[in-house]
Amino acid sequence: GYISGDGIVIRIDDVKKESDFFVHFGRVERGTIRVGDTVTAQIDRACRRRAQANHTATHLLQAALKKIVDEGISQAGSLVNFDRLRFDFNCPRALTSEEVQQVEELVNTWISEAHPAKIEVLSLSDAKAKGATAMFGEKYGSEVRVIDFVGVSMELCGGTHVSNTAEIGVFKIISEAGISSGVRRIEAVSGSAILDYLNVRDKVVKDLSDRFKVKPEEISDRITGLQNEVKNLQKEAGNLKGELAIAKSDSLLANAETVGEFKILVARIDNVDAASLQTAGERLQQKLGTNAAVVLGSVPEAGKVTLVAAFGTDVNKKGLQAGKFIGAIAKICGGGGGGKPNIAQAGGRDSNKLGDAIAQAKNDLISGLG
């Protein structure tokens, strides 16, 4: 709204209660205001109607939650804005989609039934005796303002409200989610703000419809089809990576070194994912025999390291276990991991240290098997 006077115009953007004062926040658009000036306060009626609709909707929402979900539900916080509302409440679990729909439908039923508002100022004890809902932890004076939509909701509240639920028009829940342990949050819109909400969604739907060249009702099927295509392509890419890793690994067989009675192969194969690297490691160890120890490292993508150790049974008998071995090596790259005595996998974050890790793995194998 506005506060105006002789040559003064102040646009008010918000009002908050601080102790016993109602503090108006705004900016001076014209003139200079001084203590003692006589001014007139004027509300923005369009914004006020939106705020009233959203505020009353929070009362109906709490009543619906108590009726549909749990009578013990209580308010844990709220935000009433011109374009939407937010209601936090105590509840140990997520609401089901059916419950969300039932709550929304019940609120809209109460709106369509046109329940009038009955406003009274009562003593706190009388208000509680009548069954008015009070917010837990809120401090109230000896007299309180009671907002009663008869048969639907009765709360202690000093805020602005519609005079009849029909003035809300319609109510729509946008989301329901947890915000902390035992506390859920519902965001919703009501009244004329729903038109803004629907216009945004309609634009998104139209953009998707144009982009995919399908009717709005076919968008979901189109997206599902694309997701399946991506999944199949990812599977094909994984298979190709596996084949590439095997092809690269076969060329490494000639690099195996003999350490006493054992064979060791330590190498780096980049651009190979964890699954393919493990397949390559197992294949190399099997080809080299039960006396072989294979360690492979890769940087499948920026900032990520994958390591694999594949040890034959004779290596295990010597006291080396793949899980413990590769877990220690991975620490060089800022990671960790482990697995079975014969096959194990690990990861790290510092790809610049992979060369050091590979070198250390070779030294440790020579030391452990020599």
Q: Is 338 helix (H, G, I), strand (E, B) or coil?
A: strand
CA end-to-end span of the chain: 85
> How far, in Å, CA of 332 to CA of 330, rounded?
5
CA triplet 14, 18, 21: central angle to 5 degrees?
A: 90
Q: What is the DSSP string of 71-140?
A: TT--EEEEEE-SS-EEEEEE-SSPPPHHHHHHHHHHHHHHHHTTPBEEEEEEEHHHHHHTT-B--TT---
Greatest extent of the chain over all pairs of C-alpha atoms, in Å? 101
Please tell me the predicted confidence (pLDDT) of residue 136: 66
Question: 105: which residues sit within 8 A by CB, 6+ positions away?
Answer: none
Q: Is 82 helix (H, G, I), strand (E, B) or coil?
A: coil
> How far, in Å, CA of 12 to CA of 27, rounded?
7
Number of Cβ within 10 Å of residue 76's Cβ equals: 19
> How far, in Å, CA of 232 to CA of 177, rounded?
32
Question: 311: which residues sit within 8 A by CB, 6+ positions away?
Answer: 285, 292, 293, 294, 320, 321, 322, 325, 341, 342, 343
Please tell me the predicted confidence (pLDDT) of residue 347: 94
pLDDT tens readout for residues 168-188? 999 999 999 999 999 999 999
Please tell me the predicted confidence (pLDDT) of residue 346: 96
Domain 47-200 and domain 240-369 have a common topology: no
Helix axes 45-68, 193-212, angle to 10 degrees: 80
pLDDT tens readout for residues 116-164? 999 999 999 899 898 898 876 678 888 999 999 998 999 999 889 999 9
Structural domain boundaries in the chain: 2-42, 47-200, 240-369
Phi then psi for 36, rounded to 5 degrees?
Answer: 100, -10
Helix axes 274-288, 219-250, angle to 10 degrees: 30
CA triplet 25, 168, 147: central angle to 5 degrees?
A: 70
Return the closest-CA partner of residue 348 out of 287, 294, 283, 298: 298
Q: Which residues of the chain have pLDDT under 70?
A: 136-137, 242
Return the closest-CA partner of residue 106 out of 72, 141, 73, 59: 59
Determine the residue type at 186.
I
Please tell me the predicted confidence (pLDDT) of residue 57: 96
E strand or H helix at 356: helix 354-369
Write the CA distances from 306 to 40, 255, 342, 354, integer angstroms.
Answer: 71, 21, 17, 9
Determine the residue type at 147.
I
Give the pTM: 0.62
Return the closest-CA partner of residue 255 out of 266, 247, 244: 266
Reported as half-sphere exposure (CB side, CA atoms, 13 A), residue 288 has a value of: 33
240-369: what fold? Diaminopimelate Epimerase; Chain A, domain 1 (3.10.310)
| 281 contacts 309 by C-beta, under 8 angstroms | yes
Class of domain 47-200: alpha beta
